[in-house]
Structure 1
Amino acid sequence: MKVIAILMIIAACSVVGFEISNGFARRTKNLRLWKDALRILEAEIVYSQTPIIQVFQKLSKQLPKPMKELFAQLAKEVADERGDLYEIWSEKLEDFSKISHLKTEDVEILKQFGRTLGKYDILQHEKQIQLTLTHLDRKAAEANEQNAKFGKMSRALGVLSGIFIALLLL
């Protein structure tokens, strides 16, 4: 009975460590997805001159979950005219940040970009997208570094803390 309890403690602590590690990996992945989304957005706005609602609809079809749902909701609420584009953008970003492991500063970069959506000409949109991509590149490099450094450490600490607690209980 003691052996089963010890194994369960080690397993539980290991799972916690792996979940923390997955959070670092998810942030990296989501920043990469945001960069892809902005590149598609740039192509649609600058070169195709597609209206923003249609751009959101296209993004919802081209991107994987959870980005797919985000852009589908944005397209729906903008089409329903439920408020200012920036208000909708901010609200949906806040909801998205809860499931995506993005940091506050990542969300702020995206909110700043949202302030310019639909308010300027095509050239200004292109400049804003490039500026946002530059900021996201910097954050993605930071996230990759943290994932490499803290991802392995959190997995190891999870397993080792489980073993430590098990040894204390013996």
Structure 2
Amino acid sequence: MYPDILNYDQVVKVTGSFKTPMGCRSFLGVWENENGEQVHDGRNNLGVISLNLPRIALEAKGDEAAFWALLDERLQLARKALMTRIARLEGVKARVAPILYMEGACGVRLKADDDVSEIFKNGRASISLGYIGIHETINALYGNQHMYDSEALREKGVAIVQRPARRCRFVEGRNRLRL
């Protein structure tokens, strides 16, 4: 079965209501319209970038300081790529995709000359930064160990995951977007 159907209860538990997931690593959070009503249909994700953490760790060759520097470089590159996707939508008129923007497929009915970028702001749409391979990253940096057996390695894993999360919150606040 499709994983989104199998995880219906978990989606409701985590988010408070069901959202139709996109069947991939991107996910839409809770969003309320101007009347305070939660809206699920017609929302979207503008794109996904995934950080390959094991590759960064391998490039760092076991040097933790080098890993953090490389991770920060890749986060900056990912931010630039995500912002480029968003910038590409500025000035795009609804008439370029009438079924999406004028006939309601995106949950709105814009006029032909309306700018579509406005419907993606204030958390209505998301854009995603993800990662893969936290366990493999720990192994590449600190040796082939089970991070689950070591509190210190688990803490390092959490610190690695927290870096992109903090960066996303910063970008969200500055850009009226949901990352």
Q: TM-score, normalised by structure 1?
A: 0.27
Q: Answer with 1 or 2: which has the greater Rg.
A: 1
Q: TM-score, normalised by structure 2?
A: 0.26
Greater fraction helix: 1
Q: Which has the higher contact order (CA 8 A, sep 6+)?
A: 1
Greater fraction strand: 2
